[in-house]
Each structure stands twice: as C-alpha cells, then as structure tokens.
Structure 1
Amino acid sequence: MTTGTQRHLAFYLPQFHPILENDEWWGPGFTEWVNVSQARPLFPGHRQPHVPGALGYYDLRLAETRAAQAALAGAHGIDGFVYYHYWFSGRRLLNRPFDEVRSSGEPDFPFALCWANESWTRTWDGRSNDVLVEQRYDDDREHARWLTEAFADRRYIRVDGKPLFLIYRASQLPDAHRTTDILREEAAAAGIGEIYLVRVESFTDERSDPRVLGFDAAAEFAPDWKVLGGGLTGKVRSGLRRLAHTGRERPWQVHDYASVATRMQAKPSVPYPRFPCVTPRWDNTARKGRKGVALVNDTPELYRRWVEWAARAAPTTPGGDSLVFVNAWNEWAEGAHLEPDRERGPVFLEAHRDARFRAGSLETT
C-alpha cells in the first residue's frame, strides 16, 4: 500500500492462454510458453531457459492464476498492472484475461491499458516481417467508446483523477492529434471527464515532445535501445565475431546490465514530463534465437538501486501524482519478468519491495 502518490506499474503480457488465431498460425495450444521452454544457452554462463517458479507454466484463463499474480505483485511494491491491449479495427486479440478481470471484479487490483498498436506479426517466433493482422487506423471513435467502458471501472488507474491510457507506438498513428482528440472527446461524452495520455518511448522514432501530438507525458521503455552501448568484449564477444565471420547467422548481442542501467540513468533531461522505466532483466533469445539481445550480469542489488533512482527521478504531475514503470511483470520470452523463476526465485521481487521501503514510499503494514 502506498503512503504517497507515487505508483509503480508493471507492464503485463496477456498472452499465456490459447486462442484460435494462435492455434491456426502456430499449432493447437500454442502460447509463448512454447518459446520459453525451448530456449537454450547460446554462450557460457547464458541463463536459459527461464523456467517459471512459484506460479509455474500458468494459464491466464484461470482466475486463481490471476489472483495469485495480483497478490504477489501487491506484496512486493507493485501498485498495478498495465495490460497490453490489442485492437485491430474492432477486432481484439488476447483479450480474455482482461475481459474476465473486468466482468468478475477480481482480482481487486488496479490496472490500466497500453494499446500495443503494431501489426500482428510472427514476432513470437522471431519473424516480425510476416504480417498476420494489419494494424489500421479507421475506427478511432469506436475504439474510444470501447475504452470508456474500461475507464469507468473503479479499479482503473487514474493520474490527477484522470484515467491513464498509454500508446506504445504513437509515431505510427497517421494523425496522432486526431486520435488523441477523439479519445478525449469520447471520454468527456461518456461522463468520464479528462483522461491522461502517455506516449511510450519504445523506439528511436518515439522521442519527440509528446505534447505536440496531444499527449500529456511520455514513459521510458527499458532497455532503451539508444543507450545499449557497444556490447561486451572478451571471450563471449570474440566468439560472436567468429560466428559472424562464417556468414551463417547473425550473432546475438550481449550487453552488460549495469552499464545499460547506468546509461539510462544518465540520459539527458527533456523539456516534457517523462516517467522512468526499469527492467529487472532482459533476454529475448527465447523468442528470437541468435537474432536476440541479452543483458548479462544482472543482479537484484543492481535492480534495487535502479528502482531507487527511478523513484527519486520520477516527475510529479500538477496534481501531485508520480509514476514508475516496470518492464515487465511477465514478459518471459523477453527475459523481462518480475515473476519468480526456478533458478533465482523471488529475488527481483524482493529487491523491488526493498527499494520501495528505502524510498519511503511503501508502508510496512
């Protein structure tokens, strides 16, 4: 329970349940657990596969799983989940977990939505250029009207009293100001009032002032690809170069976690509100294999320090609110998960909780 107005919000992937589309595209029963379980080490000391610990290889159709996630998050300083939301001209994908959270009223845990407004591709197995469902922008008003129903939920996270809504790739909106204007118009018409719009700085083309596009603020995405640096040297990196010279496969990228965290904390200030984002770890080789990027040498202590920095650095809104984002609660195939794994258990969750205590933003009751 927070004593002030700073909230720590974790991005949440609702992918871990079968859907008809995934059955058609990848085979019956496919979820990303398939990629997670099949991952293998690519270099000495590479921590793969990431085998889930306390929660196991869960199915998000189960209310018991969703309740256990919320209880675990709340006990360790996470104040809410930001569910990825997939909308394609009225068609929604991976929507069952969120729909059941809304309809059942359980778990009683705060949430918000982030529109993952990219075309649906074969990213799950590393072929992101193979488009399965194209993202089009021909129904902003219908989309906005659907969103107002979610905004009305008493658990929906508000900033300065306004429902929080994030857009992952604002630069891909054909007319961003038109989209944000319609979102605001429909929220007002539904009696919701003002909304708080946040642009995610997910890629290098998402770094302009979000207010020019009709947003209120930006949120970092971790890791920030612009600050990864040149990668590691030594035996691991030398091995990658030798592989590259064969011409057989593009080598994976390996970067030091501490270096990336330090570089993110040293980013130049910006003239607009930008909420910080942290990640406990990152390794998407489970999804992309030798085309992936891995951060190595991550430790709970380094993560705790990063969270403490983010808590201090987060801007405060005119109404006194402040946000820190975490990538992510359960991005298992990207190696970015606060959920415990079998190898190291809940150490990153405990580090996050400890950082909240040290920052004075979490009660001990």
Structure 2
Amino acid sequence: MAASNHPYEVAVYYFPQWHPDAKNEALRGEGWTEWPTLRAAKPLFPGHEQPKVPLWGELDESDPAVSEKQIAAAADHGVTSFIYDWYWDMGGGEGPFLHRALEDGFLQAGNRDRLRFGIMWANHNEVSRERFDAMADYLIIRYFNEPNFLKLDGKLYFSIYECHTLINGLGGVEAARDALASFRAKTREAGCGELHLNLVEWGLNERHRAIIGPDANALIRMLGIDSVTSYVWIHHAEPEAFPDAPYADCAAAAAALWPAFRDAYEVPYFPNATMGWDPGPRCAQDRPHVRGDYPYTPILTGNTPEAFARMLREMKDYLDRASGLDPKLFTVYAWNEWTEGGYLEPDTVHGLKYLEAIWDVFGA
C-alpha cells in the first residue's frame, strides 16, 4: 500500500481521454482517443514547441499493463496519488464517461497499491437530483471501498470542479446542500465512512457570484465543504501577454495567491503546482491564432524541468511554513493533460526530468 506516513501528499491530476470510449466513438469514430489531436498540433507562433511527442508512444491507458507502467514511474518519483478527472452524464443520462482508465486500467494493475487515487468530478454539465443520486450510488459501489482510495483524516476525498454548475443543475444552494448531505449519509450507511468534500476554486471565483452568492465562506458552511484547491494556475493567474507568456511570471503570480486563498477561506486551501499550460493542440491549426475564450489563451513558455523544480522548491517551503495544514497536500497539473501542455509523463525532449524534479524536491 502507498505509504500513508509520507510528510507530503503529492496528488497529481489524471486526464483519462487516452483510451476509446463509447460516447467518443459515437461522435468521432471507432477507436477515437485524443492522441490524433496531439499528433496534429502545429507551432502557432515562432518558437512554439509543438507537437509534443510522448516518449512511451500513444498508449491505451485502459490496459492494466499501461497503468502499471504509469504507476511505477509516478511512485518511483515521489508521487503519492492520482486524482482522476471523472465524468458523469456528459450531455445525457448515459452515466460514467472516460471511466475505463480507472476501472479497467488503474484498478486492475498489479502494482495499484503503490498509489492512492481520488476523484475530481469534472462536472461540466448540469445534473438533476435524480441523476446526482444515481452518481452517488455508482461512486459508492465502484470506488469507495477500494483499499487505496485517497483519504484525508480517514475521509474519502471527493472533489467538485464546478460548484456553480452543481448548484444550477440541482436548483439552488439549498437543493445542493440537501443533495450533498444525502451523499454523505449514503456513504456512511454503505459502511464506507465519511466524505471529505473538496471544491475547486475555479467554481468559487467572482465570475460565478450570481449563482454561488456573495459570500463564498457562507456557501462553504452551508454545503459542508471540507477544503478548497485549484486545478491549474491559468484559472486565476492568466497572463496579460499573448500569444505566449513566461512560465516564471505565471508561477510567481500563482504562488502569491497561495496565502491569499489560505486566508480567504475558512477551510484548508491546498495549493496547486502547474507543470505547464499550452492548449495549442485544441486550437484551430489552419487560421491565425487570436486571443479569445478557451482554448485561445496565453501559452506558457520556458517551463523547463529546471523551472518546474524551482517552483516545487517554493511549494515545499510554503507547505513547511503552513501551520495547521494537515496533510501537507498539494495538487499537480497534471499527469497527462498533453493537449493542454500539462504533463509529467515523459516526452521525447525531456524524458523523465519533470518527474525527477518531483523526486529531487519531495522524494527524500
């Protein structure tokens, strides 16, 4: 089992669109994954490093042998858990989406006990109370009794990406409170223990105030939220420069927000380390690159393994100074967000050097 006495919880987000899924196949053709999108990427400005090429090739993550390779590389370099981006009812009542990376890959891997895993519900779509309850039942049955599920203070870690979307779909803050209370009760009654409910800060920021209300802490208390974290720096530290911006500048802006978020919220805030940001592969490749809504955002340049290591040392210093933050958890963007430029998996330029940076700072 992954060591539970490690002084830091290095929790890395995992994006699971590197295996065929029935919904994707219905929309895009048999066997579709995101690998062709990465392969087709072109430089969008002089010096833009695209396409990124995975050193391991275009693997199917739903294969347990592939998961074993990923787990070994992660655990060998100081990663303690994967937090899976997890999807439900993406545009209909079809239930789970992109779940086979976890269910057929990770959970069937022979070395799965070397890492813990948690769930971040990537709720880009609204769901009704009926479908929320069905999701809760699925999570409880499929995951919550797994021995290596990520727990904080003995509680199952479940994160919600878009709090505002949850509230909208359920019909308001009070309805969301009732749904989450029911989720907690169901989990307890199933013998799985208690939930640790986490919100991603993206769903709490000012652009969503009309839905979540003027006081984020009042909402946190009402919903019974246990902690807040971030997914990626670009959500709250988007550079003004375009088309590219220095990674170091974005890192400094993001690090300045760690204590700001810590002080703003009444519950613990777990800071985020972002390896890179480059959604260029998801942009149109055949027209001028103009700033706009996602994915037409600034692209971070200069995110070398050395720059990543410098940021990780700053993260460690922050965690070491943070009184009362137990566990000393931080999230990392990301294991394999290849088409957004955030990945620890080895590429053909840097090999394992991003993972080696984690080991150099946190492994000992």
8 Å contact kept, 2:117–2:149: yes
Q: Does the alignment pair 1:142 with 2:134?
A: yes
| Aligned equivalents of 2:128, 2:338: Cα separation in 1 | 28
Shift of 1:105: 6.3
| SS of equivalent residue, structure 1 residue 255 | strand
Question: What residue number does 2:353 align with?
Answer: 347
1:72-113 CA distance string (max 9 Å, x none): 001111101111111124611111121223356652221111
8 Å contact kept, 1:340–1:346: yes
Query: What TM-score do you get using the length of structure 2 for normalisation?
Result: 0.82
Q: Does the alignment pair 1:221 with 2:215?
A: no
Matching residue within 251, 266, 274 for 1:261: 251
Question: What amino acid does structure 1 have at the position aligned with 2:57?
Answer: G
| Structure 1 or 2: more helix by fraction | 2
Residues 25 and 18 (structure 1), Cα distance of their counterparts in 2 relative to 1, 3 Å cut: same
Shift of 1:342: 0.7
Question: What residue number does 1:295 align with?
Answer: 300
Shift of 1:316: 6.5
Question: What amino acid does structure 1 have at the position aligned with 2:137?
Answer: R
Q: Which range moves more in the overlay, 175-184 or 309-318? A: 309-318
Question: Equivalent residues in 2 for 1:135-284 (5 A)?
Answer: 135-149=127-141, 150-174=143-167, 175-202=175-202, 204=205, 205=207, 208-209=216-217, 210-231=220-241, 253-267=243-257, 268=260, 269-272=263-266, 273-284=268-279
The runs of 5 or more residues in structure 2 that have no matched partner are 168-174, 210-215, 290-295
Matching residue within 327, 330, 338 for 1:324: 330
| Aligned equivalents of 2:110, 2:196: Cα separation in 1 | 23
Q: Which range moves more in the overlay, 9-18 or 296-305? A: 296-305
Residues 64 and 10 (structure 1), Cα distance of their counterparts in 2 relative to 1, 3 Å cut: same
Residues 163 and 300 (structure 1), Cα distance of their counterparts in 2 relative to 1, 3 Å cut: same
8 Å contact kept, 1:140–1:182: no
8 Å contact kept, 1:305–1:355: no
Question: Equivalent residues in 2 for 1:85-164 (5 A)?
Answer: 85-88=86-89, 89=93, 91-100=95-104, 101-102=106-107, 106-108=111-113, 109-119=115-125, 135-149=127-141, 150-164=143-157
Say how many residue pairs are matched.
Answer: 322
| Aligned equivalents of 2:157, 2:346: Cα separation in 1 | 28
Question: What residue number does 2:19 align with?
Answer: 17
Query: What TM-score do you get using the length of structure 1 for normalisation?
Result: 0.82
Question: What residue number does 1:30 align with?
Answer: 32
| Aligned equivalents of 1:135, 1:180: Cα separation in 2 | 13
Aligned-pair identity (%): 31
